[in-house]
Amino acid sequence: MTTTTARAHTYADLPGLMALMTGDEKHGPAATSTLDALWVLYDRVLRVTPEGADDPGRDRFLLSKGHGPMAYYAVLAAKGFVPVDWLEGFGSYDSPLGHHPDRLLVPGAEIGSGSLGHGLPLAVGTALGLKARGLTDPHVWVLVGDAELDEGSNHEAIAYAGPAGLERLHTLVIDNASASYARPGGIAARFEAAGWSALTVDGRDHDALYAAFTAPHPGRPHVVVARVESKEFAGEPESA
């Protein structure tokens, strides 16, 4: 949801905000692949504000695809969670904005990322914990990459969450064709086989993303597969 900032930033400002972050090891295509989905979530879906970042009733967003976090940082800056002037220090030794987000340093970050395959299990645990505390209103979102689904920890989480009926759990898979071929029938079919609600959309179409993010899925967790251009097309052939 739109939050109060020093000045109102729009989607059109994001490329300029991302351009403030320079240096090596940026994983540029990994970052830009998430840009549209992150913006739609923070601008139109997530119920969290900088002022309420510790509110027990807030929605939770977990970035599991933590490498190449420039889009995430740009969106957090646009929405007032972090100061815009932090962006220029991205990746420097004294900057809170590292090459992977650190929840102890980055306001609004729910987890610290690193090795792939942890975000979805953590999201399952978060949804279970909220339910156990009687907090049934917050939604839990986790963003993962398609190649990250090669991790067995994710498949254990997928297999558990469906039968457990974790209705407040949402997974956003950014599919840039890094490893989609590994799942017969496609990524959505893998989740559906475990009892999830699943939709596949154009990851650059904001209205399609919003419709998929807000689609009803009573009694089931929900996954949105957002297809974007392949990494080879974007000029970065390694998997992520």
Mean pLDDT score of the chain: 90
CB of 172 within 8 A of CB of 37? Answer: yes
**Rg of the chain (C-alpha set):** 17
The pLDDT tens digits for 12-33 are 999 999 999 986 666 677 788 9
Tokens 């949801």, located at residue = 1
Residue 60 to residues 24, 74, 102, 126, 193: CA-CA distances in angstroms? 30, 18, 15, 9, 25
Mean pLDDT along residues 206-228: 98
Question: Domain limits at 180?
Answer: 33-66+110-234
Evaluate whether residue 24 is within a structural domain: no
Tell me the two tokens of residue 205: 């179409």
Evaluate whether residue 92 is within a structural domain: no
Mean pLDDT along residues 76-104: 94
How would residue 35 be classed by pLDDT, with cut points 50, 70 and 90? very high
Tokens 């240096």, located at residue = 23
Evaluate whether residue 3 is within a structural domain: no
pLDDT of residue 179: 74
Q: Looking at per-residue confidence, does 186 or 158 come out higher?
A: 158
pLDDT of residue 24: 64
Mean pLDDT along residues 187-197: 96
Tell me the two tokens of residue 60: 């939770």
Evaluate whether residue 143 is within a structural domain: yes
pLDDT at 3 over 60: no
CB of 149 within 8 A of CB of 179? Answer: yes
Evaluate whether residue 79 is within a structural domain: no
pLDDT of residue 27: 64
**Calpha distance 127→13 (Å, rounded):** 33
Evaluate whether residue 82 is within a structural domain: no
% of the chain residues with pLDDT over 70: 89
Tokens 């942890």, located at residue = 118
3-class DSSP assignment, residue 203: coil
pLDDT at 46 over 50: yes
- Buried-state track 143-159, b at ≥16 Cβ within 10 A, e below 16: bbbbbbbbbebbeebbe
How many domains, the chain? 1
pLDDT at 237 over 80: no
pLDDT at 76 over 50: yes
pLDDT at 217 over 90: yes
CB of 127 within 8 A of CB of 62? Answer: no
Evaluate whether residue 43 is within a structural domain: yes
Evaluate whether residue 99 is within a structural domain: no
The pLDDT tens digits for 116-129 are 889 999 999 999 99
pTM of the model: 0.91
pLDDT at 4 over 50: no
**Which residues, 6 or more positions from 238, have their beta carbon under 8 angstroms from its beta carbon?**
231
- CATH code for the domain of 54: 3.40.50.970
pLDDT at 7 over 80: no
**Which residues, 6 or more positions from 100, have their beta carbon under 8 angstroms from its beta carbon?**
66, 67, 69, 112, 113, 114
